[in-house]
Amino acid sequence: MDRGSSAPWLTATQLYPESGATRTARIDPVPPRACGRTDAGGKSNPKGTGRCERQAVFGGDGYSRQVRARDLESTDRRADGSGGIGRHGQRANEGQPGTHQRLLLREQLRHIEELEARIARLTQEIAKRMRPFEDQLERLDTIPGVGRQTAEVILAEVGPDIEHFPSAAHLASWAGMCPGSHESAGKRKSGRTRKGNPTLRRALVEAAQAAGRTRNTYLSAQFRRIAQRRGNKRAAVAVGHTILVIAYYLLKRKTTYEDLGPLYFEEKQRETAIRNSIKRLERFGYKVTLEARTPA
């Protein structure tokens, strides 16, 4: 599988069949009132609208009545005593889809089913093409936050032969996962990353967010440490960069991931503080001998 193969296109199409701005899975543009879901103010209730309830519009009156009865029961218990009456004088259970709404819903649901079938076909094709590289995929899968699909994206975009990247820094720069260097008059300006490979960047950022939710791992500790000072978005990019560097060395050295543990940064700061204190005392002419204190 070289960089000229169709594997990168397959993995990108499998994970992101449409751009985020036009993703068809979001079917909220159809008026929620057509499915019997409005709050007391006449606004849509995104938590209550979903694919199953949209399908209930076409699945027969039995299930639709159950949905509307549940809506009526929930709106009747409103704390303000409004009984679910909206500003337009319509109860939540009175919405009925018209011909236009039915057409839109039917087309959207059909499109979603087509996308799901397309993703299933691509998943089977990717699995078949990735069989010769099962060893590399298993190595990448040992990284916290990196699942099977993310490992496939990394391998498809980077390639199984990591030697064409001289170092991990070259790979991070090519992927657009390293911060830029913009310094003038001793002041550091924007550190915005370059564009790089959008498919690989997106997969790494998603893996970083998943790694940040893991427990007792080096990557989760790194994510929290950066997020406290710089925010979650920058933490995701930084941890994504770390994941890419780890993947580089796993593929290069043909080894598996060994976690440094959640206390790595604390121990590193402790050793750095001790070393700096010794140097400061030695500059004042003292000779320092460290002796561990025995617990009382």
Q: What is the pLDDT of residue 247?
A: 94
Indicate the average pLDDT of the chain: 75
pLDDT one-digit tens code per residue, 167-215: 999 999 898 887 655 555 556 555 566 678 888 999 999 999 999 999 9
- Tell me the two tokens of residue 24: 């068809």
Give the residue carrying structure tokens 């543009």: 29
| Average pLDDT estimate for 277-292 | 86
Q: Which residue has the higher pLDDT, 234 or 18?
A: 234
Judged by DSSP in three states, 39 sits in coil
Q: Which amino acid, residue 161?
A: D
pLDDT one-digit tens code per residue, 88-98: 444 444 556 67
Residue 131 has pLDDT above 80, yes or no: yes
Q: What is the pLDDT of residue 50?
A: 58
Instruction: Please state whether beta strands 187-188 and 183-184 pair in parallel, antiparallel, or not at all (unpaired).
Output: antiparallel
Q: What is the pLDDT of residue 270?
A: 82
Any idea what DSSP says for residue 42?
Answer: S
Q: Which residue has the higher pLDDT, 21 or 59?
A: 59
- Tell me the two tokens of residue 130: 């990735």
Would you place residue 40 in the very low, low, confident or very high pLDDT band (cuts 50, 70, 90)?
Answer: very low
pLDDT one-digit tens code per residue, 47-87: 445 566 556 555 544 445 555 555 555 555 555 555 544 54
**Radius of gyration (C-alpha) of the chain in whole angstroms:** 27
- Tell me the two tokens of residue 211: 């790694």
Q: What is the pLDDT of residue 232?
A: 92
Q: What is the pLDDT of residue 91?
A: 47
| Average pLDDT estimate for 3-32 | 54
Residue in 105, 100, 6, 121 with CA at minimum distance from that of residue 51: 105
Judged by average pLDDT, the poorest of 69-78, 129-138, 159-168 is 69-78
Judged by average pLDDT, the poorest of 134-143, 150-159, 208-217, 281-290 is 281-290
Give the domain ranges of the chain: 7-128, 135-253
Q: What is the pLDDT of residue 46?
A: 46
Q: Which residue has the higher pLDDT, 207 or 288?
A: 207
- Buried b or exposed e, range 132-163, using 16+ CB within 10 angstroms: ebeebbebbeebbbbeebbbbbbbbbbbeebe
Q: What is the pLDDT of residue 191?
A: 54
Would you place residue 31 in the very low, low, confident or very high pLDDT band (cuts 50, 70, 90)?
Answer: low
Residue 145 has pLDDT above 70, yes or no: yes
